[in-house]
Amino acid sequence: MTHQAPIVIVGTGLSGYSLVKELRKLDKETPVVMVTADDGVSYSKPMLSTGFTKGKDAEGLAQAGTDVMAEQLGVEVRTFSTVTGIDTVAHELILGDERLAYSKLVLAWGADVIRLGIAGDGQDHIHSINDLMDYRAFRKALDGGKRVAIMGAGLIGCEFANDLRNGDYEVDVIAPDPYVMPSLLPVAAAKAVQHELTKLGVSFHLGTVVERVDRSEKGGVRLILGNGETLEADLVVSAVGLRPRIELAKAAGLDVGRGIKVNRALETSAPDVYALGDCAEVDGQVLLYVLPLMASARALAKNLVGEHTQVRYGTMPIMVKTPCCPTAVCPPPAGADGEWHTEQEGSDVKALFKAPSGAVLGFAVTGRFAVEKQSLAKEVPPIHQD
Ligand SMILES: Cc1cc2nc3c(=O)[nH]c(=O)nc-3n(C[C@H](O)[C@H](O)[C@H](O)COP(=O)(O)OP(=O)(O)OC[C@H]3O[C@@H](n4cnc5c(N)ncnc54)[C@H](O)[C@@H]3O)c2cc1C
């Protein structure tokens, strides 16, 4: 029975659609069914934090409707269909009361936003933005507003801060960290971005947390911070991190770590089940970025047509979309031996992470040094060395 079943792909984000595009270059015939909990509209998620800068609302950021994608790719797309389980023995996906047989199953179901349990009756004013539908709801809620509070000063919090300032909103950023993006950038680069965002008008409240969000008389919310400060806002954006979706995979008996564990052929521990993108831990690496998922999609498409292929991650610089302070970073491997060497002129920072041998293992560049990202990337060894 199973050999007649389609390839089933769960998720129509960049991972799911990139995989089908790669697969259709190699095989136009094999039936493919895509299943997604959302509306299946194709969009580029990184653009969600650039809407005001680019003058685009949610409709402007949509790239193609579901029907167009289904037709172009020769696939069936089932929208608003939430997977509730996987029966790896029967080779069936469980969608509530329904079972869907698969010949091969690909999990491309992304990562969940972390939600903080915050006290107060203003919960419905807190928005997490992790897909186009979230963004649509956020823009609608923002309509007529003037002031936004952002929880989290990581990459996404900073990008939204810059973008909302470009949209002329008043922006407060609240985070427990001593400076922005502490897990991504060395301190000099982080402080340069923070300085330029501050010059742009962003107000930072660092070293503290939001303790309560209550509705205010004015129709917005009042935030109470751990340091005793009180802030008013029309709405709150929560940008406190993402966690790969592993629960259903774990319940189905798949090996999981921080993500769904796969080898470099993108195979999980269950036969004929693969994973890629934000939900996957590929050979020990959880990288919630576009370049790794594109490389994975190319390799997995080949595996799905029987050409055994291992994904190879090259050097993967991350661009931080803060136009007030252009920034690129290529973090050194976790636990690498070495230290940062920094050259700085105001908010222009060039930091190189060098091993004791002098080899460059990572870099961060801001301001006028940001243009050096391509040449520096050539000096950094790829993630997969073979
Ligand atoms: C604001 C923002 C800015 C970013 N900027 C950058 C950037 O500049 N550069 C960069 O490299 N990366 C960036 N990223 C990260 C990048 O966008 C993600 O790594 C990438 O889009 C993840 O794609 P994905 O397809 O794996 O997951 P997703 O896009 O999350 O797709 C998951 C899919 O699975 C479906 N799904 C989930 N659960 C179920 C279920 N139970 N049943 C059925 N369907 C399900 C969802 O409906 C969705 O279709 C950014 C992320 C954000 C949020």
pLDDT digits (tens, 9 = 90+) for 253-281: 999 999 999 999 999 999 999 999 999 99
Q: Is residue 318 part of a domain?
A: no
What residues are in contact with ligand 1 under a 6 Å CB criterion?
A: 10-16, 35-38, 45-46, 48-49, 82-83, 108-110, 129-130, 156, 245, 277-278, 288-291, 293, 319, 321
What are φ and ψ of residue 292, in 5° steps? -60, -35
For the chain, give me the number of helices (H) and strands (E)? 10, 27
- CA torsion sign for 35, 2, 20, 258 is positive
Beta bridge partners of 159: none
Residue 180 lies in a domain: yes
Predicted confidence (pLDDT) at residue 385 exceeds the cutoff of 90: no
In the 3-class helix/strand/coil scheme, how is the chain assigned residue by residue?
A: CHHHCCEEEECCCHHHHHHHHHHHHHCCCCCEEEECCCCCCEECHHHHHHHHHHCCCHHHHEEECHHHHHHHHCCEEECCCCCCEEECCCCEEEECCEEEECCEEEECCCEEECCCCCECCCHHHEECCCCHHHHHHHHHHHCCCCEEEEECCCHHHHHHHHHHHHCCCEEEEEECCCCCCCCCCCHHHHHHHHHHHHHHCCEEEECCCEEEEEECCCCCEEEEECCCCEEEECEEEECCCEEECCHHHHHCCCCECCCEEECCCCECCCCCEEECHHHEEECCECCCCHHHHHHHHHHHHHHHCCCCCCCCCCCCCEEECCCCCCEEEECCCCCCCCEEEEEEECCEEEEEEECCCCCEEEEEEEHHHHHHHHHHHHHCCCCCCC
Task: Supply the pLDDT for residue 3.
Answer: 53
pLDDT value at residue 334: 85
- Looking at residue 384, its pLDDT comes to 80
* pLDDT at 120 exceeding the cut of 70: yes
Q: Indicate whether 211 pLDDT > 80.
A: yes
As a whole number, mean pLDDT of residues 296-303 equals 98
User: Are 154 and 226 members of one domain?
Assistant: yes
> In the chain, what percentage of residues exceed pLDDT 70?
99
d(CA 345, CA 323): 18
Task: Provide the domain limits for residue 141.
Answer: 115-238
pLDDT band at 199 (very low <50, low <70, confident <90, very high): very high
120 and 231 share one domain: yes
Judgement on whether residues 153 and 253 belong to the same structural domain of the protein: no
- For ligand 1, atom 33, name the residue with the nearest CA: 11
CA-nearest residue for atom 38, ligand 1, is: 109
pLDDT band at 370 (very low <50, low <70, confident <90, very high): very high
11-48 residue pLDDT tens: 999 999 999 999 999 999 999 999 999 999 999 999 99
Same domain, 93 and 49: yes
Indicate if the pLDDT at residue 2 is higher than 60.
no
Under 8 Å between Cβ of 223 and 230: yes
Is residue 355 domain-resident?
A: yes
pLDDT of residue 1: 43
**pLDDT, position 277:** 98
- For the chain, the average pLDDT equals 96
Pair 106, 138 in one domain: no
State in Å: Cα 14 to ligand 1 middle.
Answer: 7
Distance 44 CA to ligand 1 centre (A): 9
C-alpha 323/C-alpha 310 separation (Å) is: 36
Q: Is the residue at 296 inside a domain?
A: yes
Same-domain check for residues 88 and 70: yes
- In ligand 1, the atom with minimum distance to the C-alpha of 109 is 34
CA of 133 to the centre of ligand 1 (A): 12
Same domain for 125 and 221, yes or no, is: yes
Among 218, 238, 258, the domain boundary falls at 238
User: Which atom of ligand 1 lies at the shortest distance from residue 288's CA?
Assistant: 19
Neighbours of 49 (CB within 10 A): 25
Ligand 1 center–CA 13 separation, angstroms = 6
Q: What is the mean pLDDT of residues 293-321?
A: 96
Shared-domain flag, residues 106 and 246: yes
Which of 19, 45, 278, 293 has most ligand 1 atoms within 8 Å of CB, for mutation?
45
What CATH number corresponds to the domain at position 353? Answer: 3.30.390.120
* Range of weakest confidence among 68-72, 141-145, 309-313: 141-145
Residue whose CA is closest, atom 14 of ligand 1? 46
Q: How many angstroms does the Cα of residue 343 sit away from the middle of ligand 1?
A: 35
CA 337 to ligand 1 center in whole angstroms? 32
From the CA of 347, how far away is ligand 1's center (Å)?
A: 31
Question: Is the per-residue pLDDT at 216 higher than 90?
Answer: yes
Answer whether residue 385 is part of any domain. Answer: no
Q: Residue 159 Cα, ligand 1 centroid: separation in angstroms? A: 16
Q: Looking at per-residue confidence, does 84 or 218 come out higher?
A: 84
Residue 19 and residue 159 in one domain: no
Ligand 1 atom nearest 12 alpha carbon = 49
For the CA atoms of the chain, what is the radius of gyration?
A: 22
Same-domain status, 121 and 187:
yes
User: Residue 312 domain-assigned?
Assistant: no
Q: How far is the CA of 368 from the centre of ligand 1 (A)?
A: 30
pLDDT at residue 234 tops 70: yes
Which of the listed residues 106, 109, 156 should we mutate to test ligand 1's pocket, taking the one with most ligand atoms within 8 A of CB?
109
pTM of the model: 0.96
Residues 155 and 219 in one domain: yes
> How far is residue 235's CA from residue 147's CA, in Å, rounded to a whole number?
7
In the predicted model, is pLDDT for residue 153 greater than 50?
yes
Of the three residues 190, 220, 238, the one that is the final residue of a domain is 238
Question: What integer is the mean pLDDT of 98-114?
Answer: 97
**Ligand 1 atom showing the smallest separation from residue 160 Cα:** 1
* Count of structural domains, the chain: 3
347 within a domain of the structure (yes/no): yes
CATH number at residue 194: 3.50.50.60
Same domain, 65 and 36: yes
Evaluate whether residue 319 is within a structural domain.
no
